[in-house]
Structure 1
Amino acid sequence: MSVHLVTGAGSGIGAAVAGRLLARGDELWLLARDAGRAKELAARFPGAHTLVGDLAEPSRLSWAIGHQAPPDRLDSLLHVAGVVELGRIGDLTPKVWNETLAVNLVGPAELTRLLLPQLRLSRGHVVFVNSGAGLTAHAEWGAYAAGKHGLRALADSLRAEEHAGGVRVTSVYPGRTATPMQQKVHQQEGKAYDPSRWIDPESVASAVLAALDLPRDAEMTDVTVRPGV
């Protein structure tokens, strides 16, 4: 039985990934931003364990994890949580930049650092669910795209550093996916939201699991997922 820790399991792609892993009998750990969210996740995913730690406050993650009992080994760390706030560069405040980069880049970097000993022990796998914005930046997506471009760099550097020890690292770049985040994006864009036009979160979860389940003689480094016709 493999042991996985998932961020962002409350909705969208994270919920789809967590549900698939739990259904196949793996041991599941879920990161929750606070105790209330932890209770919600425990009720939604019976049998899963929870850890409380807020990615929006990266400097407090070490203290938070240190006062709990994280798993002593990890087969995968799956970074799925994220936030988005659209806006033109000339209008974005430091508050938006700091909040966006904390959750989308600095928090994942710090959580990875804290759990690397467990991942090294298991020759585990780190998966970053990135975004098409991590490959191409468009107008009004500056803060989000900057964080996702940084997340790509984080993944590439981590892979180069940990490859010799057997830790695999994968970046998954989904296009627009039918999630609550996408609904928020449409509201900010002033567009009608039709989830049937976009990728089902389960399809992205399938890509994530394909990377996890690849035999040890190979590694998926970058996986791009786009809406079908």
Structure 2
Amino acid sequence: MKTALVTGASGGIGAAIAQVLAPTHEVWLGGRKIPDGLPGHPWPVDLRDLDSLEDKTAEIPDLDVLVHSAGVIQLGPLSETSVQTWRDTLELNVIAVAELTRILLPKLRAKNGHVILINSGAGLRVNPNWGSYGASKFALRAFADALRAEEPDIRVTSVFPGRTDTEMQRGVRAAEQGDYQPEKYLKPDTVAQAVLNAITMPADAHPAEVIIRPRATAG
């Protein structure tokens, strides 16, 4: 059985991806609190503790798929965005991704593996008050492009979902002072299915980018 590591498996898109990979992969579940019943090996790691990642990844025997789904967002105008917000956002959304990938590259190379980066519509176009988060997601896309070019034996896929029915999205809508309309959002399972489609695509294809939008128009 193949092996996958999914960060952000505590809920939302990450948990849905872990669930859909479980039948065909031994899944390592990165997250501080894993939902009951989610199949796999809990991997409770603080991704911001960069010095611990080398030791923590040593327990993963090999790796076919690495899914980066952990992320953080704090909305606000640039004039009110603190240095700490910039640091927190970039540290988890970009720096931790880069360091965890770097450490795991030997295992991914050995398996001709696949790196999936859950990006965002904000990684393609940024709205007002989304500056720090959008900057982190543009950086994540740049990281994916560079990794794809430098590691020809590894597939690298950036996934750009629109609004998705998650706890993070509830926080976003509260910050936007807008109604929460889950019927107009993507389901986490839908994004997970797109990830599975990319992973199971025949070896002659390289799904570089996947853009998913809700069919309904969300406010």
State the TM bucket, normalised to the shorter chain.
Answer: over 0.9
Q: Does 1:50 align with 2:39?
A: no
State the match for 2:16 in structure 1.
Answer: 16
Using the TM superposition, give the Cα deviation of residue 49 of structure 1 relative to its aligned residue in structure 2, in angstroms.
Answer: 1.4
Q: 3-state SS of the aligned residue for 1:172?
A: strand
1:145 to 130, 134, 150: 134
Q: Does 1:90 align with 2:89?
A: no
CA contact (8 A) 2:47 2:53 kept: no
Q: Deviations over 1:168-188 (max 9, x none)?
A: 000000011111111000000
Bigger helix fraction? 1
* 1-structure distance, mates of 2:134, 2:25: 33
Q: Which runs of 5+ in 1 are unaligned?
A: none
Q: 3-state SS of the aligned residue for 1:44?
A: coil
Name the count of aligned residue pairs.
Answer: 216
CA contact (8 A) 1:52 1:64 kept: no
CA contact (8 A) 1:52 1:65 kept: no
* Shift >3 Å, 4+ stretches: none
Q: 3-state SS of the aligned residue for 1:171?
A: strand
Q: Does 1:211 align with 2:198?
A: yes
* 1-structure distance, mates of 2:11, 2:144: 23
Q: Deviations over 1:177-228 (max 9, x none)?
A: 1111110000001111121110111111111001000011111001100011
Q: Does 1:191 align with 2:178?
A: yes
CA contact (8 A) 2:116 2:159 kept: yes
State the match for 1:169 in structure 2.
Answer: 156
Q: Which amino acid is the alignment partner of residue 53 of structure 1? A: V
Query: How do 1:75-86 residues align onto structure 2 when only pairs under 5 Å count?
Result: 75-86=64-75
TM-score in terms of structure 1 length:
0.90
CA RMSD of aligned residues (A): 1.4
